[in-house]
Amino acid sequence: MATDATGQVEDVDDPIAYFLDDQRYHGKSERTLEAYERVLRQFETFLGEEFDSVEVVSDADRRACMAWIHSLRGEFEPSTIATYASYLNRFYDYMNRVGAFEENPMALVMEELSESIDTNPTRRELSIGEMRSFVASISHPLERAVVVTLLKTGMRVGELCNLDLQDLNADFEAVALEWTPRVELDRRPSSVYVSDEPSRGAVTNGEERTASNKRKRETVIPVDDELRGELESWLAIRPDAVSPAEPLFLDTRDSWGERLTPSDVRYIVEKHAREHGWYRTGGGTTENVTPHYFRHFFTTHLRDRTGDRGTVQYLRGDVAGDVIDTYTHNWGDRVRETYLDHIYAVTSGPNTV
């Protein structure tokens, strides 16, 4: 591989490997990189089988890209096809920008894709009563605490895995563990702090992280009595942590005492979703319940109950700058009160819709 006088890439033996390495340096997770490689290698194989004139992916033109997209129809859901197309588009756009490819043949293809491809699909709609039944079927304290935390906070999987004990401020009568909550939680009782700092490969609180938080700015989320009870049940049996960072959620299986990883959380949710008929191999976003579904559930139900889009955006970590300063300043008066008045019950209460 070489670069010209401007630093542009001139020669790349394996463009896909080059792209993946660069994305790794940019902080993409291993799971994301695996998804990119799977799709890009599938496209590469398709070119070799269907187009004799195309020896490498850099030779593909708009027609070849469109033919691959067409070959996916009938095998995958429209939303999945849209995702695969976006992967290929990002690959070609990046390689074009660094000078390895002369053009991005997917640019026009993306414009030509049928409007029937829904990039924001309607997800399975579940009532609060149905979700309560789902939670009731989970008996392990760790698994219940993980699911209820996702349901009650709307945080992403990586954000949940990056939580340390210091990020939690709550009183637990039956927990012998002692820790000092971070200063950001002073005068904010019964709350959890979600930082915008952790990123994959960086050291936070003395531990190199394997997942990134994607918040635009730190957020303090109230902990209601229901979530507090689930966390107390978990912390009462929590093993000693391997990491000095004292992660909140630890593995109790093969990696005993180590920080729970996003793949661990996906395994937990998939296992119970399958048992509940909410997950099927090959099922798409519209059908399967995954950890990210709980973020959708949180957003939909809390926004409908409060009518306060700004508070929900703050809790999700979707706002930054002066906007979030308003919610930080009024956390006790507005955010906490609004949240506690409207958050749904998932472990008790009437089986309401």
Could you give the 3-state DSSP secondary structure of residue 129? helix
Q: What is the pLDDT of residues 330-347, one digit of tens each?
A: 777 788 999 999 999 999
pLDDT interval class at 349 (50, 70, 90): low
Eight-class DSSP state of 184: G
Distance CA 91, CA 104 (A): 9
pLDDT in the model for residue 43: 92
Residue 341's SS3 state is helix
Paired strand residues for 203 = 208
SS3 247: strand
* Cβ contacts of 42 within 8 Å, gap of 6 or more: none
Would you say how long the chain is, in residues?
A: 353
Count the alpha carbons within 13 Å of 236 in the hemisphere toward its beta carbon.
13
- Report residue 141 as tokens: 């304290």
pLDDT the model gives residue 112: 73
Instruction: Return mean pLDDT, the chain.
Output: 86
User: Are 250 and 165 in contact, with CB atoms under 8 Å apart?
Assistant: no
Total-model pTM: 0.67
Maximum CA extent, the chain: 71
Tokens of 246: 């004292």
Predicted confidence band of residue 18 (pLDDT cuts 50, 70, 90): very high
Looking at residue 71, its pLDDT comes to 86
**Which stretches of the chain are assigned E, i.e. beta strand?**
2-3, 9-11, 168-169, 191-194, 203-204, 207-208, 219-222
Can you tell me whether residue 207 is helix, strand or coil?
strand
Q: What is the mean pLDDT of residues 221-247?
A: 96
Cα 339–Cα 315–Cα 336 angle in degrees, nearest 5: 30
10-22: average pLDDT: 85
Read off φ and ψ for residue 194, nearest 5 degrees.
Answer: -115, 115
User: What residues pair up with 219 in beta bridges, in sequence order?
Assistant: 194
Q: Which residue has the higher pLDDT, 276 or 48?
A: 276
Q: For residue 96, which phi and psi values (nearest 5 degrees)?
A: -70, -40
Burial (Cβ within 10 Å: 0-12, 13-18, ≥19) of residue 189: middle
332: Cβ contacts below 8 Å, ≥ 6 apart:
187, 188
Which positions ≥6 away from 135 have C-beta within 8 Å? 144, 147, 148, 151, 346, 347
DSSP line for 66-117 = HHHHHHHBTTB-HHHHHHHHHHHHHHHHHHHHTTSSS--THHHHHHHS-TTS
Structure confidence by residue, pLDDT tens digits, 23-42: 998 888 888 899 899 999 99
C-alpha of 200 from chain center = 13
Share of residues in the chain with pLDDT > 90 (%):
51
Q: What is the pLDDT of residues 65-110, one digit of tens each?
A: 988 988 887 777 777 788 889 899 999 999 998 888 889 999 888 8
Residue 28 backbone phi and psi in degrees, to 5: -65, 140
Residue 205: left if φ>0, alpha if ψ -120 to 50, beta else—which one? Answer: left
